[in-house]
Chains A and B, each alone.
Chain A
Amino acid sequence: GAGVSQSPRYKVAKRGQDVALRCDPISGHVSLFWYQQALGQGPEFLTYFQNEAQLDKSGLPSDRFFAERPEGSVSTLKIQRTQQEDSAVYLCASSLGASGGSYNEQFFGPGTRLTVL
């Protein structure tokens, strides 16, 4: 079956613009995660959803970052007033079960590469 998909794959924004990044998880997966991966770094956790509930947003770097998953499936990560330091690859991952510390394999999407000029 289809894996996690993300769109767009590439996004160029001018500083100050708002952007919206979309994630389509594997069908039926309860958990959804967003990560930010800067150049030369490992992925860093941003936020976690269990169905439509955002249970952890401790990794969001500022209030310019907002994520939602209104129907418990597709998720959107929105970045307002983008800054150059927001340039990174944004990864989405989903897992079958609920998280909360117990392990469920996370399946990653291909990522969206955001470049802020």
Chain B
Amino acid sequence: AQRVTQPEKLLSVFKGAPVELKCNYSYSGSPELFWYVQYSRQRLQLLLRHISRESIKGFTADLNKGETSFHLKKPFAQEEDSAMYYCALQGGGADGLTFGKGTHLIIQP
């Protein structure tokens, strides 16, 4: 069975500090990994996906198959980054996404 683990329920950092949101997954094949974000009173939206290897809003995430991790990083946090972040996996021909429980990121001024 596939599983996504986000060990931190809440992460609070100061503006300008580096941010790392952890994500570990369990899957026997080659998964596709994503980060979704939900800002206050907004709907869930895609932030980035590992296959595109892009940086969105200063965030990057590298898939580490050896450690089965897909941590989300940003070198300098901004107040507008405060949101709920969900790591998600799609694999094995399954059509739906498997989400982690989410990390609430709070950026303090």
Residue in B44, B96, B100, B102 whose CB lies within 8 Å of A59: B96
- A108 to B90: give the CA distance in the assembly, Å: 16
- A45 is an interface residue with CB less than 8 A from chain B: yes
- A29 to B15: give the CA distance in the assembly, Å: 39
For A56, the chain B residues whose CB sits under 8 A away are 94-96
Residue in A40, A43, A100, A109 whose CB lies within 8 Å of B86: A43
- B11-48 residues with Cβ-Cβ distance < 8 A to A are 32, 43-46
In the bound complex, do residue A42 and residue B96 qualify as a contact, i.e. CB atoms below 8 Å apart?
no
Q: How many residues of A contact B (CB 8 A)?
A: 28
Q: How many residues of B contact A (CB 8 A)?
A: 24
Q: How many A-B residue pairs have CB under 8 A?
A: 61
Given contacts A33-B96, A48-B95, A100-B95, contact A111 B43 (CB under 8 A): yes
| Closest beta carbon of chain A to B45's beta carbon, Å | 7
In the bound complex, do residue B99 and residue A42 qualify as a contact, i.e. CB atoms below 8 Å apart?
yes
Given contacts A40-B101, A41-B101, A103-B51, contact A48 B96 (CB under 8 A): yes
- A91 to B44: give the CA distance in the assembly, Å: 9
- A83 is an interface residue with CB less than 8 A from chain B: no
In the bound complex, do residue B46 and residue A103 qualify as a contact, i.e. CB atoms below 8 Å apart?
no
- B75 is an interface residue with CB less than 8 A from chain A: no
Q: List 7 A-B residue pairs with CB atoms under 8 Å apart, sorted by A's residue number.
A: A3-B43, A35-B99, A41-B102, A42-B86, A43-B44, A44-B99, A106-B46
**Other contacts beyond A55-B95, A108-B45: 10, CB < 8 A:** A35-B96, A35-B99, A41-B101, A43-B44, A43-B97, A45-B94, A45-B96, A100-B93, A103-B49, A103-B51
Binding site for B on A (CB under 8 A): 3-4, 31, 33, 35, 40-46, 48, 55-56, 59, 91, 99-101, 103, 105-111
